[in-house]
Amino acid sequence: RKEVEQDPGPFNVPEGATVAFNCTYSNSASQSFFWYRQDCRKEPKLLMSVYSSGNEDGRFTAQLNRASQYISLLIRDSKLSDSATYLCVVNMGYDGGATNKLIFGTGTLLAVQP
Partner 1 sequence: AAGVIQSPRHLIKEKRETATLKCYPIPRHDTVYWYQQGPGQDPQFLISFYEKMQSDKGSIPDRFSAQQFSDYHSELNMSSLELGDSALYFCASSSGRTGKLFFGSGTQLSVL
The yes or no reply on residue 101 touching partner 1 (CB under 8 A) is yes
Instruction: Name the residue nearer to partner 1 (CB basis): 5 or 13.
Output: 5
The yes or no reply on residue 28 touching partner 1 (CB under 8 A) is no
Name which of 105, 93, 98 is nearest 29 in CA terms: 93
Binding piece for partner 1, criterion CB under 8 A, among 9-17, 28-36, 54-62, 70-78: 28-36
CB 101 within 8 A of CB 94: yes
Q: How far is the CB of 98 from partner 1 (least distance, A)?
A: 4
